[in-house]
Amino acid sequence: MANVLNPETESTTLNTELELPTLDPATELEQPLPESTSNRTADIENASAEPTMSLDADVTPVGQAAEPKAQPQTTAEYAPAAESEPATESDVVAASAKVPVAKTAPARTEPSGPEPGDDFSAALAAFEREQAAEAAAVEAYGDKIVSGTVIKQTDKHLVVDVGLKSEGLVPLEQVVDHTGAVKFNPGDVLDVVIEREEPEGGYLVSYERAARLRVWDSIEKAANDKTPVTGTVVGRVKGGLTVDIGIKAFLPGSQLEVRPVRNLDAYLGQQIQVRVIKLNKKRGNVVVSRKELLEEEQTAKRDATMEHLFEGAVRTGTVKNLTDYGAFVDLGGIDGLLHITDMSWGRLTHPRDLVNVGDEIQVKVLKFDKEKQRVSLGFKQLTPDPWLDAAERYPAGAKVHGRILSVTDYGAFVELEQGIEGLVHLSEMTWSKRLKHPSKLVKPGDEVDTVVLSVNPADRRISLGMKQLMENPWENLTDKYPTGAIIEGRVRNLTDFGAFIEIEDGIDGLVHVSNLSWTKRVKHPSEIVKKGEKVKAVVLGVEPQNRRLSLGIKQLQPDVWETFFATHRVGDVVHGKVLRTAQFGAFVEIAEGVEGLCHISEAGEEPGGGHAKLEQGMEHDFKIIKINVEEKKVGLSLRAVGHEASRAQVENYKAETHKHPVSSSTTTLGDLINWRKTEQK
């Protein structure tokens, strides 16, 4: 037989456990019953029918109504106000009983028999009660920190036992260090805050939120007092870095250094001091700055430095940056410019040749503008100018030792001492003219011996020579190669005016185009010799002081002009062949290798008038009308040969007329022409 509930005793018990208000039957019975209420009513009826079933806290006693309360939807609604006291264990138990219960009608005093589906309704009601109790327990935790034991690790979460029916899930990104390694292993205990139940099962718990709750008070105090906090750079995010100061704070890239930083990854893993400049406890956002601390430190140093800064002061600074025109030196909160011209008494191609970033050097204050905070520094001014007595220490002719600093197209600069450099010109490096670039002989860093040629302290220049330490091959060249000597060498180079023949290392002789052939008018040496060809030549002259050697090739052959001039005089008639013509006349070969010029005015006249034309290949007799032995020129005339022939013919005609007199004593030109025709037949 089913037990019947005692309204008085059961109502008192339920009211005590559930703290539910008493229902007003007159009003509440008019309200429709929710499905959950029907289930709970069925549970009460089943409890009346079965004495072994225990009462549940969700049962609504007769005459009482549940206190309506909306189910929390977000983590923020679970959490109590920031100023509220932490929840205790009794609060959790009480909260678990404060489950929203729908309004129901008064329970029936006499139970009815079981209906179909009562078992399913009871199970559903039990599940709902369990879920509601679990949700109430989670809500009761709020921002309370609970300890959990690590069970295992998955791809996305760290599974933690937090004492609830399901495990807690900590996102892996909350429990990794800057290298990406998880900081906890199975069995480790860590503090977390329960946030919500996940739809797919388990509870989302936050390790970061628990950490924030632990350190939030200290962070708020540091932010209010503007005191620095120490943190470790643990990650790189868009726009900046993540710094662990107990909780993860955002450090914008613009707040990392006083000057912009390009490589933020270089700070990963470093421990730095920062200042909290912005925080939002509700969202859990913290923004920090390192730049503010550095600027304050720099300002303090600058103020202290400027008190002892004046023109002429010698200060110690650190090289911060290098440019093409100088170096910036940190004097202690204020930077000064050390221009490249004030670095060394000598010549520098770049400031890095003297200093590097990070070097600690002594400098002298040359100029100081306190209002604009501009400082000009000098390094060479700390030592005397070495050029003041350079002429006494490096007299002309002195042999000096130095180091090649740089090589240019025109020579090499040699450092004799700090601030003193000399130039070895390309022409002073070797006696040979074949050296095209100094790099073929020396390179930067080489140690060389040189001779001082001249010193100009005003222009800060020293001319040096290297070939002066070698034997001059031109000094004894006259004895070695006297005039008229026949030498053999290789054609090294060809130019428009001649060919250079190398007769030994560093000694080249020139064969001018005029000394290539006696007879041929040479326009380019390539008509006679080829580059690289071995040839013989005659030494025509040596000039050691000018390093010149004159050679000749045609001198190896007899001079046909001398032979011609020895056997011919003006007035001689020679037979010649027209080689080439020009507007002013024709060049005629009158002997092998000997040419003469027949000017157009000496070519004769055509029968119809005008000068006769000489064509290439024609052969004629020419009369020599001019000879120039020095210039080797011969003037020819074809017309003069024609006149000589006419006079001879007249004389022959006269002789014939004396033998055979004609009727008339008068001889006409027509008679002479007819006579010539008769003679030619």
Q: Among the three residues 412, 444, 469, which one is the final residue of a domain in this structure?
A: 469
Domain boundary among 366, 382, 398: 382
- Of residues 292 and 85, which shows the higher confidence score? 292
Instruction: Decide if pLDDT at 387 tops 60.
Output: yes
- Residue 444 has a pLDDT of 92
Residue 50 has pLDDT above 50, yes or no: no
Q: Are residues 239 and 268 in the same domain?
A: yes
**Residue 93 falls within a domain, yes or no?**
yes
How many helices (H) and strands (E) the chain has is answered by 13, 30
Q: CB burial class (10 A; 0-12, 13-18, 19+) of residue 51?
A: exposed
Is it the case that residue 4 has pLDDT exceeding 60?
no
Distance CA 468, CA 451 (A): 7
pLDDT at 152: 92
* Residue 209: CB atoms within 10 Å: 22
pLDDT number for residue 21: 39
pLDDT beyond 60 at 252: yes
pLDDT classification of 657: cutoffs 50, 70, 90: low
Q: Is residue 422 part of a domain?
A: yes
Q: Are 100 and 107 in contact (CB under 8 A)?
A: no
Model pLDDT, residue 234: 92
- Structurally, the chain folds into a number of domains equal to 7
Q: What is the average pLDDT score of the chain? A: 76
On whether both 611 and 672 belong to a single domain, the answer is yes
Q: Examine the domain organization and report whether 484 and 443 are in the same domain.
A: no
Looking at the fold, whether 573 and 670 belong to one and the same domain comes out as yes
Q: Transcribe 160-228 into DSSP letters.
A: EE-SSSS-EEEEGGGSB-TTS-BS--TT-EEEEEEEEE-TTSSEEEEHHHHHHHHHHHHHHHHHHHT--
Residues 184 and 245 in one domain: no
pLDDT tops 70 at residue 73? no
Q: Look at residue 241 in the predicted model and tell me its pLDDT.
A: 94
Q: ∠19-22-24 over CA atoms, to 5°?
A: 160
Helix residue ranges, H only, 555-634: 560-567
pLDDT at residue 60 is higher than 70: no
Average pLDDT for residues 278-283, to the nearest whole number? Answer: 83
Q: Does any domain span residue 328?
A: yes
Of 295, 323, 348, the last residue of a domain is 295
Mean pLDDT along residues 18-34: 38
> Do 594 and 668 fall within a single domain?
yes
Instruction: Select from 201, 218, 289, 192 the least CA-distant residue to 249.
Output: 289
Percent of the chain predicted with pLDDT > 70: 72
Q: How far apart are the first and last CA of the chain?
A: 184
Residue 620 included in any domain: yes
Q: At 147, is the secondary structure helix, strand, or coil?
A: strand
In the predicted model, is pLDDT for residue 46 greater than 80? Answer: no
For the segment 419-462, what is each residue's pLDDT rounded down to a tens digit? Answer: 888 999 998 998 877 788 999 899 999 999 999 999 998 888 99
In a domain, 420, yes or no: yes
Residue 245: is its pLDDT beyond 50?
A: yes
Comparison of pLDDT for 601 and 100, the residue scoring more = 601
In this structure, the answer to whether residues 45 and 118 fall within a common structural domain is yes
Structural domain including 323 reads 308-382
> Under a CB-based contact definition with an 8 Å cutoff, are residues 43 and 125 in contact?
yes
With a cut of 60, say whether residue 584 has pLDDT above it: yes
What would the mean pLDDT of 366-380 be, rounded to a whole number? 89
* Residues 113 and 54 reside in one and the same domain: yes
Q: Which residues of 398-427 are buried (b: 16+ CB within 10 A; e: fewer)?
A: eebebebbbbeeebbbbbbeebbbbbbebe
Given a cut of 90, whether residue 401 has pLDDT beyond it is: yes
- Give the pLDDT band of residue 610 (cuts 50, 70, 90): low
The domain that holds 520 is classified in CATH as: 2.40.50.140
Per-residue confidence band for 629, with pLDDT thresholds at 50, 70 and 90: confident
pLDDT value of position 150: 93
Which of the pair, 105 or 209, is modelled with greater confidence? Answer: 209
Q: Are 30 and 130 in the same domain? A: yes
Residues 373 and 392 in one domain: no
Give the per-residue pLDDT at 394: 93
pLDDT at 45 over 70: no
Tell me which H or E stretch contains 251. strand 248-252
**Of residues 508 and 29, more confidently modeled:** 508
Q: Is the pLDDT of residue 598 over 70?
A: yes
- Any domain includes 475: no
Q: Which residue has the higher pLDDT, 208 or 650?
A: 208
CA 4 to chain centre: 93
681/677 Cα distance (integer angstroms)? 6
Q: What is the distance between the alpha carbons of residues 157 and 145, in angstroms, rounded to a whole number? A: 19
Mean pLDDT of 353-361: 91
pLDDT average, residue stretch 328-333: 88
- Sign of torsion, CA 386 391 393 395? positive
465 pairs with which residues across the strands? Answer: 451
**Per-residue pLDDT averaged across 344-369, rounded?**
88
What's the CA gap between 620 and 598, in Å, rounded? 11
Q: Tell whether 447 and 333 lie within a shared domain.
A: no
What pLDDT score was predicted for residue 48? 38
pLDDT in the model for residue 86: 41
- Residues contacting residue 69 through CB under 8 Å, at least 6 positions apart: 98, 100
> Average pLDDT in the 346-365 region?
88
Q: What is the pLDDT of residue 560?
A: 73
pLDDT at 199: 82
> How far from 414 is each of 65, 152, 385, 391, 447, CA to CA, in Å?
106, 73, 18, 17, 9
Q: What is the pLDDT of residues 76-95, one digit of tens each?
A: 333 333 333 444 333 433 34
* Residue with the two structure tokens 């399901």: 166
pTM for the full predicted model: 0.38
In contact, 313 and 299? CB cutoff 8 Å: no
Across 85-99, 355-369, 544-558, 657-671, least confident range: 85-99
d(CA 208, CA 175): 8
2: pLDDT strictly greater than 50? no
Is 302 domain-assigned?
no
More confident of the two residues 346 and 530: 530
Whose structure tokens read 């019947």? 4
| 302 or 86, higher pLDDT | 302
For residues 328 and 378, state if they share a domain: yes
In a domain, 491, yes or no: yes
Q: Tell me if 205 sits within 8 A of 192, measured CB to CB.
A: yes
State residue 141's pLDDT score. Answer: 59
